[in-house]
Structure 1
Amino acid sequence: MNFSQALSTVMGIVIGAGVFFKISSVASSTQSASLTVFVWVLAGLLSIASGLTVSELATALPVTGGATKYIEYTYGKPAGFLFGWSQMAIYFPANIAALSIIFGEQFASLFGIDKVLIVPVALIVSTSIMLLNFVGNKVSGKLQTITMIAKLIPIILIIVFGLFKPSPVSPSLFPITSGEGTPFFTALSGGLLATMFAYDGWINVGNMAGEMKNPKKDLPKAIILGLSLVTLIYVLINYAFVSALPIDQLAGNGNAAFDSSRLFFGDFGGRLVTLGILVSVYGTINGYTMTGIRVPYTLASTGSLPFSGYFKKINKSGAPYISGLFILAITFIMIFLGSFNLLTDMLVFVIWSFTTLLSIGVIVLRKREPELERPYKVLFYPVIPIISILGGLFIVVSTLITQFQLSIIGILVTLIGLPIYFYQKRKNEKSS
């Protein structure tokens, strides 16, 4: 893999559907255009620092299996299992459920159907994508390619029209302040937590290190340039949104992308752009489904799960269908019980808890295994890892403070994995 391929992979992994729908919750938290745009810049810088940090583990550790194995290598098998468990019990089902819900909401707005049908539409969407993945990798892979191209169209259109068409609102970007009556720390933490969902996916960037010809030189360049371009795209889209609608009309407005598109392109054009966004969402759900259904399968392959024999089953197309049905069952529960913002905030909290451990792991291994060969060393060590760690701690701690109940649910569901791990370990030892 050369530099240009690595660059496109970074951008393809990270750019998703979240940027179209997080503006409502970001604006609700910040209550100002300046802080709304700023948190997108801040989230991008934090993602770059974390991507550079975690990539050192990806290039140095002689293990395959991505972040789960990096945590296991650094902190032990129980910690590695907990990360895998949190992915199958929270991260992937919550992603699929949240995006299915937002698909249902946008579908209802686009076609003017009753909102009572949002949940049935979400269930149909998540089920249809799961069935496509059961058919095999070829079908789901082609769908991913088509939707990858489709999601660029609304992004480009919104940026171009947002920048060059006279806008009804003239947002002030300086000084950076929160809305009147909103504490700055509360506004910043809430806005940052919301934006991190749109940057989700960078944690997988380091996995491509083994395929690169010159990871020491090309990996940091691909991460810095790729995530910088993603940040620029996200900032421009959100600038277009705050230029189209006043902040009070964006705050809490789940149809902000649809309403902004209608202002830019007229009613018919706005509907076409929204249709493109729906295709993008469908493709993003497919990406999480493709990856998610293989997590229980991978854990079962090492005998780490109860009923591993069932989770390891694959159909004629090679798809782990029992694992897929498990993910789909949890997805259904989340669709009925959660909302887009609730589910995305929970998964960001959980994934950043482990991401912070990964960044700390870079420092731990530098001290514990100084002789370990590191084809790529994080730039400006230890400054970049410390930025990543502090940013991760800020997200985790601020979520604990501002959304205590949601945080506790995420922690409890994750910790359920511990008795499961030790029960299965004891069972495996008895049978061996």
Structure 2
Amino acid sequence: MGENQLKREISLFGAFSTVMGTVIGAGVFFKTASVVSFAQSPSLTIFAWVLGGVLTICAGLTSAELATAIPKTGGAVKYIEYTYGKLPGFLLGWAQSVIYFPANIAALSIIFSTQFIHLFHLSNGSLLPIAIGTGLSVTLINLLGTKAASQLQSFTLIIKMIPIALIVLAGLFMPSNVEVSLLPVKSGGDSGFIHALSGSLLATMFAYDGWLGVGTIAGEMKRPEKDLPKAIFLGLTFITIVYVLINIVFLKTLPIQQLSGNLNAASDASNQIFGAVGGKLVTIGILISVYGALNGYTMTGIRVPYALALEGMIPFSQQFQKLSKKFVVPYIAGIFQFSIAAIMMFLGSFDLLTDMLIFVMWLFSLLIFTAVLILRKREPELNRPYKVPLYPVIPIVAILGGLFILITTLFTQTILASIGISITLLGIPVYMVNKKLKNK
């Protein structure tokens, strides 16, 4: 593993900050609408956010064992390839290239456009042009080089915490406009409890997304065996508390009917708490946060097809390997990613896109959790600088949580799940054809 001679400079606080910066994005502001529309009750809404946090902590602690044991460039693709073989590893890279990153970019562009229209009272007809322009602008910034993209990311990382802190601190101490009952946990409306829980839990997963990348910093930590589990546990626990608190604020500020399906809920709650002018300022902060999240996914995403191309694993690998002469960026991969994202903007809504990408990624997450169990048995001598605590309880909790999300989504959102699985399986003939062409 000599390819990864990384300096061990990251402290516990540095790792904690990385967890916070990686996971907190746009979902905390906009997934309440979807969670509430499934749950139809304050108690189940909050329960879904708590349960989502617990599953994310178990997932993060589990996947981090592979990150330290297999510290190769490529992250999760390499974990799956190492455990199951080349084809499953390729399918994850394929799914990330054609579903996960483009769908994230499309969804975040749509939500940015939705908030922009709401802030400036524009017509709904401008939704798609603004969304496409937003996604294109971020892609162009990334094509100007890593430095420009990194500077934008650093700026938005600071800004994104401001609206969250303002809403939580001010909202919790304001008198409640709505009665919020957190116990007993029950669903509202006509749907059954399992259907309501599965839909609302899947929705929270977008807000918690990002945990899979947390373990990739293990090779640069001073004491990964001690500090990595602490950083993951403390970081994700803090995020869970923040998410629960901000949702309690939303629930006590606006009636549940006004939250359900309302992508402007965060903005409406801010107006209620801070007044018209203060609400607009908070909404601007939210817009900057969304733009930063969009930049993060764009910056990371264009490097996935590029990495696959370097190994000759995709068609037109020579083109995808190309770097711009001036800025040294994989520009063909950037154009490819934005083109898929633009098509998705025409075809899907924010919730549809985010639910599909989360479903597909949890398919592979389940393979990662299981890989920990497989490798413990198959390769007990493998060097593991960090081992998941309370083994095998935490991996099993992560596996059971993943199975619940996947199975219930298959039954409750069959078309969405089928589309995600079908696009992923399309990678098999792509892999086979490309392999034949390489062997000629």
Which residue number in structure 1 is paired with residue 406 of structure 2? 396
1:97 matches 2:115: no
* Partner-residue secondary structure (3-state), 1:376: coil
Asked if 1:17 is matched to 2:42, the reply is no
The match for 2:283 is 274
- Report the residue type matching 1:25 in the other structure: S
Choose 307-316 or 421-430, whichever is displaced more: 421-430
Counterpart residue number, 2:365: 355
- After the TM superposition, which of the residue ranges 352-361 and 178-187 deviates more from structure 2? 178-187
Counterpart in 1 of 2:162? 153
Pair 1:41-2:55 in alignment: no
Q: For each residue in 1:63-84, what CA deviation from the matched residue of structure 2 results, as whole angstroms up to 9, or x when unmatched? A: 3320000000000000000000
CA contact (8 A) 1:59 1:206 kept: yes
Match of 1:83 among 92, 99, 110: 92
Shift of 1:62: 5.2
Say if 2:62 and 2:388, in contact at 8 Å, map to a contact too. yes
- Amino acid aligned to 1:217: K
Indicate the larger mover: 234-243 or 166-175. Answer: 166-175
Aligned to 1:63: 72
Letter of the 1:263 counterpart: Q
1:247 matches 2:256? yes
> Residue 411 in 1 paired to residue 424 in 2?
no
1:225, 1:170 → 2: CA distance? Answer: 31
Amino acid corresponding to residue 136 of structure 1 in structure 2: G
What TM-score comes out, normalization by structure 2 length?
0.97
Report the equivalent of 2:4.
none
Report the Cα distance in structure 1 between the residues aligned to 2:113 and 2:73, rounded to whole angstroms: 37
Q: Is the 8 A contact 2:71 2:216 kept in 1?
A: no
Matched residue, 2:395: 385
Q: How far apart, in 1, do the equivalents of 2:177 and 2:56 lie?
A: 32
Shift of 1:290: 0.2
1:185 aligned partner = 194
Check conservation: 1:31, 1:182, Cα contact below 8 A: no
Root-mean-square deviation (Å): 0.8
**Residues of 2 paired with 1:426 and 1:223: CA distance?**
42
- Find the partner of 1:118 among 119, 127, 141: 127
Match of 1:333? 343
Query: Which string of whole-angstrom CA distances, capped at 9 and with x for unpartnered residues, describes residues 2-28 of structure 1?
Result: 111111111111011111000111000
Maintained 8 Å contact 2:132/2:345? yes
Which of 290, 297, 302 in structure 1 is aligned with 2:306? 297
1:94-115 superposed Cα distances (whole Å, 9 cap, x missing partner): 0000010011111111100000
Does the CA-based 8 Å contact 2:33-2:262 persist in structure 1?
Answer: yes
Instruction: Structure 1: give runs of 5+ residues left out of the alignment.
Output: none
Instruction: Report the Cα offset of residue 170 of structure 1.
Output: 2.3
Q: Answer whether contact 2:108 2:350 (CA < 8 A) is retained.
A: yes
- Does 2:145 match 1:136? yes
Code of the residue aligned with 2:230 in structure 1: it is K
Letter matched to residue 361 of structure 1: A
1:182 CA displacement: 2.7
Instruction: Give the counterpart of 2:430 among 411, 420, 425.
Output: 420
Out of 206, 219, 223, the position equivalent to 1:214 is 223
> Tell me, which stretches of 5 or more residues in structure 2 are unaligned?
1-9
Distance in 1 of aligned mates of 2:336 and 2:307 = 14
> Could you tell me how far 1:391 is from its partner in structure 2?
0.4
Q: Structure 1: how far apart are the matches of 2:54 and 2:367? A: 19
Q: Using the alignment, how far apart are the partners of 1:58 and 1:425 within structure 2?
A: 28
Deviation at 1:142, TM superposition (A): 0.6
Quote the offset at 1:202 in angstroms: 0.4
Q: Distance in 1 between matches of 2:346 and 2:71?
A: 42
Cα distance, 1:220 vs structure 2: 0.5
Please tell me the residue identity of whatever aligns with 2:282.
V
Q: Which residue of 2 aligns with 1:172?
A: 181
Quick one: which amino acid aligns to residue 176 of structure 2? S
How many residues of Structure 1 are paired with residues of Structure 2 in the alignment? Answer: 430
Cα displacement (A) at 1:327:
0.3
C-alpha deviation, 1:365, in angstroms:
0.6
Q: Deviations over 1:44-93 (max 9, x none)?
A: 00000011111111111253320000000000000000000000000000
Question: Matched residues in 2 for 1:169 and 1:109: separation?
Answer: 24
Please, which of 230, 235, 240 is the counterpart of residue 231 of structure 1?
240
Cα contact 2:71–2:219 (8 A) shared by 1:
no
Aligned 8 A contact 1:356 1:393 in 2: yes
- TM-score normalised to structure 1 length: 0.99
3-state SS, counterpart of residue 217 of structure 1: helix
1:177-207 CA distance string (max 9 Å, x none): 1114331111110100000000000000110
CA distance in 1, matches of 2:131, 2:190: 36
SS state at 2:208 partner: coil
The percentage of counterpart residues that share the same residue type is 60
State the Cα distance separating 1:159 from its structure 2 match: 0.2
For 1:318 and 1:158, the matched residues in 2 are separated by 40
The aligned amino acid for 1:188 is: L
Q: 2:269 is matched by which residue type in structure 1?
A: S
| CA–CA distance in structure 1, aligned partners of residues 322 and 260 of structure 2 | 46
Distance 2:300 2:20 in 1: 17
Moved more, 90-99 or 160-169: 160-169
Following superposition, the deviation at residue 398 of structure 1 comes to 1.1
